[in-house]
Amino acid sequence: MRGAGIVHLAPLRTIFYVTSVLERPRDHITTEELLAVTRSTRDTLYAWVAQKLLPRPWLTAGTDDRRLVAAWAPETLERVRFIVAQQRKGLMVDEIAARVEERWPRRRPV
């Protein structure tokens, strides 16, 4: 029986992008790129935001400039990989949250 709140993930795999490389470095990661790593859902990503495991994305113009899309900080990809690895080790969300905070401390008001 699977425990409540435990997400079972597929093995890590290399991501190959079909799109061309931009002339300048990108300042964000797309939701689709994060979903390719987690092999999960948008709901999972936003649950991680609510649990303070991931920073909130911002909105930016999509490729067609007619719609807004979520843009994530480049470090978010590393965080997602870290979270997935911790889940694979069997850690619970509160344990993962403590490790995320240790590795990427939030700025506290002075």
How far is C-alpha 6 from the geometric centre of its chain's CA atoms? Answer: 17
pLDDT of residue 19: 43
Residue type, 2: R
Task: Kindly report, residue by residue over 51-103, the tens digit of the pLDDT.
Answer: 999 999 988 877 666 778 888 998 898 999 999 999 999 999 999 999 999 99
- pTM to 2 decimal places: 0.68
The residue assigned the tokens 């964000």 is 28
Residue 73 burial (10 A CB sphere; 0-12, 13-18, 19+): middle
